Amino acid sequence: MKKLRPLALLVAPLALAAFAGCTEKAPSGGADAAPPSSASPVTAASAVVPKVKAKPPVREGGALVRAAGEAALWIADEDHRVLRKIPLPVPADAAQLPPPYALPGAPAQVLALADRVLVTIRSVPDDATAPGSFPRPAGLLLILKPDAEKGLVEAARVELPADAWGIAITPDESTALVSSAWTHKVSAVDLATAKVRWSIDVAREPRAIVVRPDGASAYVTHLVGAAVTRLDDLAGTPKIHAIELPPAPARAPSSKTLDASLAYSAVLNEDGSRLFVARHALGALGQGSWFGAMTLDVLSTRGDTPVLSKRIPGLTMARNPLLTKLSDAGLVTTLDIAAGELTPVTQPRASAYRKSARTVVVIGEGDDRLAELDALSAAPAIKPVAIYKVGSKYDPHLQIAAVCGAPAGLALSEDDRFAYVFCRSTYDVATVKLSDPESPPPPPHVQPGQDRSRESPTEVTALHLADDPLEKEAMLGRRLFHNATDAITSGGIGCAGCHPEGRDDGHVWHEANVMSINDSERVIFIGEPELAPNEKGGKIGYARQTPMLAGRIGSDGPYGWHAQNKDLVARLKEGFGLHRWSSVYRKGEGEQLARIQYIRAFVRGVGLVNPPKEKRELSDAEKRGQAIFVSEGARCAKCHVPESDYTDRMAYPFSPKVAPLAGFEDDPKAEFKTPSLRFVGGTAPYFHDGRFSTLEALIDQNNDRMGLTNSLTKDDRAALVAFLRTL
Amino acid sequence: MNKRWILTIAAAAALLTPAAFAPAQPLGSAAPSAAPAASAAPPPSEEGKSLDADPPGVEISKAPKIDEWKSAPRVKLARGVPACNAYRVREWLKIHCSGFPGAGVSLLAGSQEGVLVWVDPSGGEGSEAMTKPRDAEIVLPLRRGDGRLFQIAQFGEGYDGPIGWNNAYSVSEYWVDGEPAPIVTIR
């Protein structure tokens, strides 16, 4: 087995900047050019105002958007740190494309207006030396202007909280709203002055932003959690409201609200009366479900109420006697479970509203599919209108697409007949012909024995834009990390489904002993107890919170909550078995190991990007917290050793023991491995079972289980928390 | 073909013998089913007005009697399918689907107040049981603030194998408080 050489690890980052030898021309413009500082903004006087200003096709950014007023697409290519302009129709040859525009950091979203192109930059590396660069990781909003000679020129750059991600503009195009994912902020930027008007704290991992047509309010989705944030009074002092939007109510156990994750995108319908949030409903009920299902949740913006009510116990049902017999004999699924496509796409990544068909188009990073869902339904994902396969040329061994893998960006053509898709793991742009709204295709039908539908017939063409900047093993690892269809790696969801961008979904899984047809007993993860066939009085499995990976898997080992896996290879091997119902993964030790080596090369190399971290002097309170952390009195550093990523990687029993949370069994293994505290400020909830929603609650209720914190004063605890947030 | 299918097919074959059928057998046991809302499918008629054009009022009335349904006009839904017709009496809606091997109807989410569901309980002989056309019906009130999802199942190939069931039609109904009319779709 080939291993990634140390030299290759050094070379790979350099390749990000160079990426020569592929299909591209050298990038032009921005990264190395001296950018105008934020002191030289685009003023109202200097802004180019066309006589007839074209409206942007959408007011929300994306990894791919259609340009305003011209036949072109813009792609924010995060891994190559460039902005790409693709003329429409998409040319057959990449040589016909203009050179990409180099950016000062990794972009997340682009939004094209008639006279400006806005781009969010997740963070500017702290070793940047270009004039105007920032001495610490910061997010940026770049304001670019079309230029006849250079294509684009930078008009202004606006410093924002790090990990700037989503963009949306107000209907009057005066204000851009930007989410900063890791630093959980939303900021408003006055586009006339290029100044930040406000920046506010919101719930964890804000991503998509959608502004209502009246311009007064906006909705923000979160990668973690079921609620959506509404911001009011955008023009003044914004007010924050958490809006409950239960994910997949028709697939939730009766009277329960599920967790949600992966809400990378949201769209409004044509009059703004409905908000559609594409995401993953963790633990949703369905045929073959252990992890949950993709859902498109619908919120009425009139009163901010979900359009579908919860499931209630004792649902009304009528069955033909034959179905009763088959069901009672355990031969078929019971009728209270929604049948059919469990997850029209896996790991939803972007969405678009198709006005002509009144559908929402969603792309799935995990299965390289595009689903068209009925925007008039209260549960659009239950019965898709159409499903299109965009990935192709699948590796016969690894089952990963060589063309259009891991779709991440989506836009519709002006006439609504085509979808354009940017595929993140293969760096292609695909053109997908959508169905005729007047004669939609036959409904997708689930293939026997699977939870996957046959796709609708369609025409897809793809143009390769660039090669992966990573070495080959890590490149394959990237594709496997995002892929949900390789039966050896997982049973229906990719690594990125629970570890989006190497982070975590905030969910606590049930590691449960379950019976399966092929095995007398198996241990797997399930999202909710109701998914298990042998639920024991509502309690099943041991609590296992999804851990964050980025920045935490550099060590040789051990891994696992009980430190039961000696190294990352052993952990991945156990993980392959935990993330599925069937035992297909057992076929072929070599097939498993090959995949493990590729994934390891990706997650250990430069594939997973660490969250941004400020390098700065600690404040007085943080210094005090640090002193407490390393003190003999508190003894935090005894196990959370600062020199080794704040862990000693040993497992210790809790004393006093903690009783399991409702729905979970008591874990007979009392010892839990000391987790790394790197980036701990951004990984709520806390404890192996997620019982503490904040670091404050963790410290307050620690009861001397981890270190000695009972004797700390209120101020000491606050200082300790302040220090933990800096790690 | 996997092991689970083989077991399913073998066991299902036993259940498909004629002796296993009893047309008079009570309907589903998990939750009591209603009798059909009408004794027979109403005669086909022209597609009627949409709910937008003639929305139900605010008054709450008792569920219509069988005779009322017999003369109920058809309603045009926001989305429909050829196999299903919708009829309306006051704020009550009936959806009648026919010509498919109906297996069952379930309310997957939302209030069950006033909701009645029915599927033809008749059987068949041997494999005919899986393909015999049967009707299914849903009656529900259309009221502000409602949000419901129904599943109309048919026998046939599905997740459980060739002898199983799948979701023939998905019926969605919701009425956002403050909006002029409910939205009902069948797919």
**pLDDT at B40 exceeding the cut of 70:** no
Q: What is the pLDDT of residue A33?
A: 39
Whether A92 and chain B come into contact, CB under 8 Å, resolves to: no
Provide the pLDDT confidence category of residue A129 given band limits of 50, 70 and 90. Answer: low
Whether A44 and A184 map to the same domain: the answer is yes
**pLDDT at A62 exceeding the cut of 90:** yes
**If contacts are CB pairs under 8 Å, which of residues 125-184 in chain B contact chain A?**
129-130, 134, 136, 146-149, 151, 153, 155, 157-167, 170, 172-174, 176-179, 183
Q: What is the pLDDT of residue B20?
A: 38
Q: What is the DSSP letter of A704?
A: T
Q: What is the pLDDT of residue A670?
A: 86
Whether A653 and A593 map to the same domain: the answer is no
Contacts of B120 in chain A (CB under 8 A): 320
- Using CA coordinates, name the residue in chain B closest to A251: B108
Does A319 contact B120 at a Cβ distance shorter than 8 Å?
A: no
Whether A42 and A132 map to the same domain: the answer is yes
Does B167 contact A318 at a Cβ distance shorter than 8 Å?
A: no
Does A448 contact B162 at a Cβ distance shorter than 8 Å?
A: yes
Q: What is the pLDDT of residue A11?
A: 33
A322 belongs to a structural domain = no
Q: What is the pLDDT of residue A49?
A: 46
A611 belongs to a structural domain = no
Provide the pLDDT confidence category of residue A613 given band limits of 50, 70 and 90. Answer: confident
Q: What is the pLDDT of residue A534?
A: 65
Provide the pLDDT confidence category of residue A342 given band limits of 50, 70 and 90. Answer: confident
Whether A514 and A559 map to the same domain: the answer is yes
Whether A686 and A580 map to the same domain: the answer is no
Q: What is the pLDDT of residue A28?
A: 59
Pick A339's closest partner by Cβ from B8, B102, B151.
B151
Rounded to a whole number, what is the distance in Å from the CA of B90 to chain A's nearest CA? Answer: 22
- The strand order across the sheet containing B116-119 reads B84-89, B92-100, B134-141, B116-119
Contacts of A326 in chain B (CB under 8 A): 12, 15, 163-165
**pLDDT at A376 exceeding the cut of 70:** yes
Q: What is the pLDDT of residue A447?
A: 57
Q: Which of A186, A201, A216 is the last residue of a domain?
A: A201
Of A467 and A256, the one with more pLDDT: A467
The tally of domains found in chain A comes to 3
Contacts of B105 in chain A (CB under 8 A): 317-318
Average pLDDT of the residues in B46-68: 91
Q: Which of A157, A183, A201 is the last residue of a domain?
A: A201
Q: What is the pLDDT of residue A7?
A: 30
A164 belongs to a structural domain = yes
- Identify whether the C-beta of residue B31 lies closer than 8 Å to the C-beta of residue A327: no
- Identify whether the C-beta of residue A196 lies closer than 8 Å to the C-beta of residue A143: no
Q: Which of B149, B169, B177 best tests the A interface by mutation, with the highest count of A CBs <10 A?
A: B149
Contacts of B161 in chain A (CB under 8 A): 448-449
Does A338 contact B167 at a Cβ distance shorter than 8 Å?
A: yes
Size of chain B in residues = 187
Q: What is the pLDDT of residue A455?
A: 75
**pLDDT at A722 exceeding the cut of 60:** yes
A505 belongs to a structural domain = yes
Does B170 contact A379 at a Cβ distance shorter than 8 Å?
A: yes
How far apart CA A352 and CA A278 sit, in angstroms, is 10
Note the pLDDT tens digit of each residue in A274-321.
999 999 999 999 888 889 999 999 999 999 999 998 888 777 899 999
Pick A311's closest partner by Cβ from B108, B155, B177.
B108
**pLDDT at B4 exceeding the cut of 80:** no
Q: Which of A254, A296, A322 best tests the B interface by mutation, with the highest count of B CBs <10 A?
A: A322
Rounded to a whole number, what is the distance in Å from the CA of A516 to chain B's nearest CA? Answer: 10
Whether A152 and A176 map to the same domain: the answer is yes
Of A244 and A458, the one with more pLDDT: A244
In this predicted structure, which of A59-63, A297-301, A631-635, B157-161 has the lowest mean pLDDT?
B157-161
- Using CA coordinates, name the residue in chain B closest to A325: B15
- Amino acid identity, position B6: I
Whether A549 and A643 map to the same domain: the answer is no
Q: What is the pLDDT of residue A55?
A: 86
**pLDDT at A666 exceeding the cut of 50:** yes
Whether B112 and chain A come into contact, CB under 8 Å, resolves to: yes
Whether A588 and A636 map to the same domain: the answer is no
In 3D space, the residue among A31, A308, A56, A298 whose CA is nearest the CA of residue A172 turns out to be A56
Average pLDDT of the residues in A500-521: 82
A212 belongs to a structural domain = no
- Identify whether the C-beta of residue A284 lies closer than 8 Å to the C-beta of residue A345: no
Contacts of B151 in chain A (CB under 8 A): 335, 338-339, 382
**If contacts are CB pairs under 8 Å, which of residues 37-76 in chain B contact chain A?**
none
**pLDDT at B27 exceeding the cut of 50:** no
A440 belongs to a structural domain = no
Inter-chain CB pairs, A–B, below 8 Å:
237
How far apart CA A591 and CA B157 sit, in angstroms, is 32
Q: What is the pLDDT of residue A591?
A: 87
A507 belongs to a structural domain = yes
Whether B81 and chain A come into contact, CB under 8 Å, resolves to: no
Whether A594 and A634 map to the same domain: the answer is no
Q: What angle do CA A376, A379, A385 make, to 5 degrees?
A: 65
Q: What is the domain extent for residue A643?
A: 620-659+675-724
A76 belongs to a structural domain = yes
Provide the pLDDT confidence category of residue A46 given band limits of 50, 70 and 90. Answer: very low
Q: Where are the beta strands (DSSP E) in A217-328?
A: 218-222, 228-232, 239-243, 259-268, 274-282, 292-300, 305-306, 317-319
Does B160 contact A333 at a Cβ distance shorter than 8 Å?
A: yes
Cα distances (Å, whole numbers) of residue A503 to A278, A414, A489, A597: 19, 36, 19, 20
Average pLDDT of the residues in A707-717: 91
Whether A629 and A583 map to the same domain: the answer is no
Pick B165's closest partner by Cβ from A311, A321, A332.
A332
Q: Which of A169, A201, A233 is the last residue of a domain?
A: A201
Note the pLDDT tens digit of each residue in A140-178.
999 999 988 888 999 999 999 999 999 999 999 999 999
CATH number, domain with residue A648: 1.10.760.10
Does A318 contact B118 at a Cβ distance shorter than 8 Å?
A: yes
**pLDDT at A462 exceeding the cut of 90:** yes
- Amino acid identity, position A234: L
Contacts of B121 in chain A (CB under 8 A): 320-321
In this predicted structure, which of A445-454, A670-679, B116-125 has the lowest mean pLDDT?
A445-454
- Amino acid identity, position B20: A
Average pLDDT of the residues in A616-626: 91
How far apart CA A306 and CA A244 sit, in angstroms, is 8
**pLDDT at A465 exceeding the cut of 80:** yes
Q: Quick one: tokens of A667?
A: 């874990």
**If contacts are CB pairs under 8 Å, which of residues 87-106 in chain B contact chain A?**
102-106
Q: What is the pLDDT of residue A536?
A: 61
**pLDDT at A254 exceeding the cut of 80:** yes
**pLDDT at A442 exceeding the cut of 90:** no
Rounded to a whole number, what is the distance in Å from the CA of B172 to chain A's nearest CA? Answer: 6
Q: What is the pLDDT of residue B44?
A: 52
Note the pLDDT tens digit of each residue in B74-111.
999 999 999 999 999 999 999 999 999 999 999 999 99
Pick B147's closest partner by Cβ from A338, A378, A451.
A378
Helix (H) or strand (E) holding A251: none
Whether A636 and A564 map to the same domain: the answer is no
Does A318 contact B79 at a Cβ distance shorter than 8 Å?
A: no
Three-class SS state of B80? coil
Q: What is the pLDDT of residue A585?
A: 59
Does B151 contact A329 at a Cβ distance shorter than 8 Å?
A: no
Of A408 and B45, the one with more pLDDT: A408
What average pLDDT does chain A have?
A: 87
- Identify whether the C-beta of residue A559 lies closer than 8 Å to the C-beta of residue A571: yes
Average pLDDT of the residues in A117-140: 74
Q: What is the pLDDT of residue A45?
A: 38
Whether A648 and A546 map to the same domain: the answer is no
Q: What is the pLDDT of residue A554?
A: 87
Q: What is the pLDDT of residue A724?
A: 95
Average pLDDT of the residues in A416-422: 97
Average pLDDT of the residues in A622-629: 94
Average pLDDT of the residues in A267-277: 97
Of A49 and A679, the one with more pLDDT: A679
Residue B34 has, within 13 A of its CA and on its CB side, a CA count of 23
**pLDDT at A248 exceeding the cut of 50:** yes
Q: Phi/psi at A526 (nearest 5 deg)? A: -130, 150
Q: What is the pLDDT of residue A278?
A: 98
In this predicted structure, which of A603-607, A712-716, B16-20, B29-33 has the lowest mean pLDDT?
B29-33
Does A319 contact B30 at a Cβ distance shorter than 8 Å?
A: yes
Cα distances (Å, whole numbers) of residue B67 to B37, B39, B71, B92, B151: 10, 9, 7, 14, 26
Helix (H) or strand (E) holding A575: helix A568-578
**pLDDT at B160 exceeding the cut of 60:** yes
